[in-house]
Every structure is written in C-alpha cells, then in structure tokens.
Amino acid sequence: MKPRIGITTFFDRKPHKQYCMVSDHYVRSVRMAGGLPLLLPITSDTDEVFEYLDTLDGLLLSGGEDLSPLLYGENPLPQVQDICPQRDGFEIPLVQEALERDLPMLGICRGMQVMNVATGGTLYQDLFSQLKGALGHLPRKMAVEALYHTVTPEEGSLVAEMFGTEPLAVNSFHHQAVKTPGKGFQVTALSTEDRVVEAMEYGEKAFCMAVQWHAEDLTVDHPHFLKLFKALVEASRKKP
C-alpha cells in the first residue's frame, strides 16, 4: 500500500462560495515520489485534527499566506496583508501533534514557517524592511519552475546529503522567513549571500525537515528536487 501523505490546503474565497484548495504541483510531486496524496480541509475542531493524523503516514505542509505575527508575540507590519486565522489555528496544533507522534513531516515555504512558530520560533514579518542587506526572494514575474537564487546546505545535514554542499539554485516566492529557530530545529541551509534561513531539520525525529523554496514546482523540470518528496514518502513507509 502506498504511504498516505496528508497535504494542507488553503481557503480560496470566491463570490458566493469558499473552497479548500492546494496547488496540484504538491499532489503531483507526492505521486511522483510514490505516495498517495490526501488533501486536508481546514478545521477548527481539535478532535478532527487528531483524526486526520490517525489516518496518515506522513504530512506535507504547503505554502500560502503569511502567518499572523500575533502567534509569536508581535503586531503586524504594514507589509503583512494576507493572513488566514482559521488556517493558522488549524496548522499550528496539527504540527505540534505530528511532532508528538513523530509523524514524518515536510514543510514547504509557509509550511516551514508554521513548523518554526509551532515550536516557539519567530519570523521576519517582512525580509526587505527588517533584514539589512536582504536580496531578492520574491520576484514578481518569474515562472514558478524558474531557478532564481542559490542556497548553501550545511555539511553533515540531510539537505546536504540530498544536494551536496555547493550552492544550490532554487526558486523563491516569499517575503517572510525564519528569524529565531524553534525548539528542536537546526538550520541546515542558508541563502548564499544574505544568509536567510532556507532549510531546517529536527534531528531527533524520524523525518522532519522544511525548505523555504517551492520544491513542488521544480520536480518536473529539475527532478533532483524530487529527493525531498521521496525522503518523506520513504520515511512514511517505515511509520509504525
């Protein structure tokens, strides 16, 4: 049986209706890696969060809106304009319970930020106004599969085992980023020049890592990025 990989969704508000959605690139990447993708609708019911996790072998936290700065004790800067409290309220306990259960987990972009805040870390609300010397991380006209800047993996890390320690070209679509790492997480890749956190790993867990770039958009044109999803799926096969 294929490992069941839960993928978090976001609200898409359209006239008269609201939808729970996610990019098909996450679904496609999980399938390419040998997993069975299952979409997780947002819920405010904690019991449902636990029931979701009861059915899953692994968890993939997708990208999307900014996290509310209230979650890490700050009020929002003007640059923070797209927050979904319902999604925040769903994903924070989802991550905390998944960590408690040692469920294999991969975070992408916002997903990494959620994992960080769920473990007591903080974020740059807006890189470009809060981090001196920040370079480009949010191009406006780039194709999602286009490589934009480089990151440098830390020697001895899982991300270095996958991609080596030389600068790795990635895509990039974010203005928030990890500031103070959450408890248990180790920073394992930084953007090559401005030293923004680009990958984290939780070494005491069976498989728990996150990347800031959108790897799901790269797995067709740049198939070496499928290694991230294969690692999640393989760890999920071994779940007790």
Quickly tell me which residue has 């830390």 as its tokens.
154
Q: What amino acid positions are annotated as catalytic residues?
A: 109, 214, 216
Closest CA to 149 of 111, 211, 194: 194
CA 186/CA 200 separation, integer angstroms:
5
CA 57/CA 143 separation, integer angstroms:
32
Question: To which H or E segment does residue 110 belong?
Answer: helix 110-118
CA 109/CA 117 separation, integer angstroms:
13
Q: What angle do CA 156, 186, 36 make, to 5 degrees?
A: 85
Residue pair 68/83 in contact (Cβ under 8 Å)? The answer is: yes
